[in-house]
Structure 1
Amino acid sequence: MKKYPLSEEKIHALLTAEPVARLASTGSDGFPYITPVHFVYMDEKIFIHGLAAGEKLANIKRDSRVGFEVERMIGLVHHAQEACDTNTAYESVIIRGHAAMIADAAAKRAVLDAFVRKYTPQHTGGSYPDAMVKMTGIIELSIQSCTGKYYPV
């Protein structure tokens, strides 16, 4: 059992507020492939957007199992005068799940609306050209397990 588990409320807050996370997939060579991503958390799923082609998408098509991680560094915790006795106060969430591409244009638009609300709320209510929606890849990550932990200040 973790010494400092993050509550469900704190997990939700971290997944809602943090702007950048990391997505891990398995490369064609069997090695992990990790990339920073912008994301939104809605309907108990993670959504990631980007181009409709690339290494992470090829990896997901080959093997839908992925890892996802997000953290917030709160600060350094100095326990003593020695350099080795410093720790980091943080909150983090680790998710394992299955990823798939969304093809439906209406579903893609709904996810893009969520991205706009999170990252550029001043543009809420705008529309998306059909060509842009078509060339945008939306990954839907269905969560199989989700854990969070923290280290206190």
Structure 2
Amino acid sequence: MKEHQLSRAEIETLLTEESVGNLGTISEDGYPYITPVHFVWKDEKIYIHGLRVGQKIDYLTRNPKVGFEVFRMNRLIHDAELPCDTNTDYQSVIMQGKAQMVTEEDLCIKVLDAVVAKYTPQHAGKSYPPAMLKATGVIEIEPFDITGKYFR
């Protein structure tokens, strides 16, 4: 077993509390394309909202295999004597999964409600203008592998 593995509860906490994750898609040329995104962890899946069109959408539509990463850096740990002996107190979660665009309007609204609750709770309970809903896309990532590591 690998050292410094996060428990399932610690993984869930990190996915719930962190504000920014990194979505890795694959370009048509086979190169990785990494995008920082806001996200929510809901029902054992990652949900990302944004515009319905764009580079990351094009890439995940062509190839639904994605990576997703969340990282929390708590502090640097410096050695008192050696200038290059520095470590990091951190937690991270890395997952692989399949992504797709959510097409069901009810699910999109539930995800947007979760996004609002996480990032702008002062707007919770408000309705979404129809033009905004039409322009907003929701990506769903169903993970097949999730790992978490830490160093303290």
Per the normalisation by structure 1, the TM-score is: 0.97
- The superposition leaves residues 21-74 of structure 1 with CA deviations (integer Å, 9 ceiling, x where unpaired) of 100000011100000000000100000011000010011110100000001001
Aligned residues: 152
Alpha-carbon distance, 1:131 to partner? 1.5
Q: Output the amino acid matched with 1:128.
A: Y
Partner of 1:52: 52
Distance 2:123 2:103 in 1: 24
Distance 2:56 2:2 in 1: 31
Partner of 1:119: 119
Distance 2:83 2:100 in 1: 45
Distance 1:114 1:105 in 2: 14
Within 5 Å, which residues of 2 pair with 1:9-24? Answer: 9-24=9-24
**SS in structure 1 opposite 2:19?**
coil
Partner of 1:130: 130
Distance 1:83 1:16 in 2: 35
Distance 1:74 1:37 in 2: 20
Q: Using the aligned pairs only, state the percent identity.
A: 53
- RMSD (Å) for aligned C-alpha atoms: 0.8
1:95 counterpart = 2:95? yes
- The superposition leaves residues 89-146 of structure 1 with CA deviations (integer Å, 9 ceiling, x where unpaired) of 1000001000000112111111000000000111110000121111101000001000
Distance 2:8 2:71 in 1: 15
Within 5 Å, which residues of 2 pair with 1:59-98? Answer: 59-98=59-98
Per the normalisation by structure 2, the TM-score is: 0.98
Tell me, which stretches of 5 or more residues in structure 2 are unaligned? none
Q: Is the 8 A contact 1:80 1:86 kept in 2?
A: no
**SS in structure 2 opposite 1:48?**
strand
Q: Output the amino acid matched with 1:71.
A: F
Alpha-carbon distance, 1:78 to partner? 1.8
Distance 1:73 1:81 in 2: 23
**SS in structure 2 opposite 1:122?**
helix
**SS in structure 2 opposite 1:137?**
strand
